Structure 1
Amino acid sequence: MKRVTGIGGIFIKARDTDALREWYSRHLGLDIADWGGVAFRWNDDNPGAVGTTVWSLFKADSAYFAPSDAPFMVNYRVADLHALLAALRDEGCNVIDRTDESEYGKFGWVVDPEGNKIELWQPPEGQ
C-alpha cells in the first residue's frame, strides 16, 4: 500500500501571528492570503492535476495541535486515508480516533513516539 505521497502542509504556532506573517511576507516573499497562509501549487507526477502544499501560522494557544505541545505540525498527503489509519492502528501506532471529511478532502491524525501530532490528508480527486 502506498502511504505518504508528499507534504500537504506545514503549520507553525506563533506568539504574534500578524507580525510573523509580515516577517515571512517581507523577508521571504510569501504572498500570504486573507485566510492567513500560502497555497503552493504544483503538478508533480500527474500533469492533468494540480497539487497543493499549504504553509500557515496558528496562534500560540491553538488547540489544533493537541495532544502535542510542539510548536509545529506537518500535514502529509496520503493516497488512501482510511486504509492507512487501519494499518497504523494494526501496527500499534497512536491514532487519534477521529476523522474529518469535507470538500477539502479527508483528514486523520496520528501521534509519533515523541508526542508530535501528524496530520494525514487525502486530497479530493484531481488534486
Structure 2
Amino acid sequence: MGVTGIGGLFFRADDPEALKAWYAQYLGVAPDGWTPWEQQAGPTIFEPFARSSDYFPAERQHMINFRVTGLDAMLERFRTAGIEVVTKAEWDSPEIGRFARIHDPEGNPIELWEPA
C-alpha cells in the first residue's frame, strides 16, 4: 500500500475559469475541469527545491512540468499566439530530452519536457 501517482494539482488563481480555459486551449489539459484528465504513463519527478534555487522564479512556490510530444510544433503555436517561449541549449540533453519554458496568463511558470 502506498502512493501510486499524483491525483491532482491544485493552485489558486485570480480568474480560475479563464485560466482553466487557457490551459485547455494551449495545452489540452483537463478541458472538462473536474472530469479526470487521463494521462499517458511515464516518469514523474517529485523534487523540492531550495528557496535559493534559480531554476524557476523565486517569487513562485511551484513550477508545473508537463511531459510533451511534438515540442517544436507546440512552441511554434505558442509563438504564433504571442506567448513568450524560452529555450536554452544547456537545458537539453540527449539522455534526458529537451525543455522549454512558458508562463500562463497569471505568470505561473510552466516547463515543457519532451523526453529523449
Give the shorter-chain TM-score range: 0.5 to 0.7
Which structure has the larger Rg over C-alpha atoms?
1
How many pairs align?
A: 80
Counterparts of 2:28 and 2:45, CA distance in 1: 15
Q: Does 1:74 align with 2:103?
A: no
Letter in 2 for 1:60: R
Q: CA deviation at 1:65?
A: 0.5
The equivalent residue for 1:105 is 97
Which of 64, 74, 87 pairs up with 2:55? 64
Letter in 1 for 2:77: A
Q: CA 1:108 to 1:122, structure 2 compared with 1: closer, same or farther past 3 Å?
A: same
Counterparts of 1:115 and 1:52, CA distance in 2: 26
Q: Helix, strand or coil: the match of 1:62?
A: coil
Q: CA deviation at 1:98?
A: 3.0
The structure where helix makes up a greater share of residues is 2
Q: Helix, strand or coil: the match of 2:98?
A: strand
Contact 2:87 2:99 in 1 (8 A): no
Contact 2:86 2:102 in 1 (8 A): yes
Q: Helix, strand or coil: the match of 2:75?
A: helix
Letter in 2 for 1:106: R
The equivalent residue for 1:38 is none
Q: CA deviation at 1:4?
A: 4.8
The equivalent residue for 2:34 is none
Instruction: Compare 96-105 and 114-123 and name the one that shifted more.
Output: 96-105
Indicate the structure whose relative CO is greater, using CA pairs within 8 Å and at least 6 residues apart.
Answer: 1
Q: Helix, strand or coil: the match of 1:56?
A: coil
The structure where strand makes up a greater share of residues is 1
- Taking structure 1 as the reference length, the TM-score comes to 0.54
RMSD between superposed Cα atoms in Å = 2.3
Contact 1:5 1:79 in 2 (8 A): no
Q: CA 1:118 to 1:83, structure 2 compared with 1: closer, same or farther past 3 Å?
A: same
Percent identity reads 38
Q: Helix, strand or coil: the match of 1:51?
A: coil
Contact 2:99 2:112 in 1 (8 A): yes
The equivalent residue for 1:116 is 108
Letter in 1 for 2:56: F
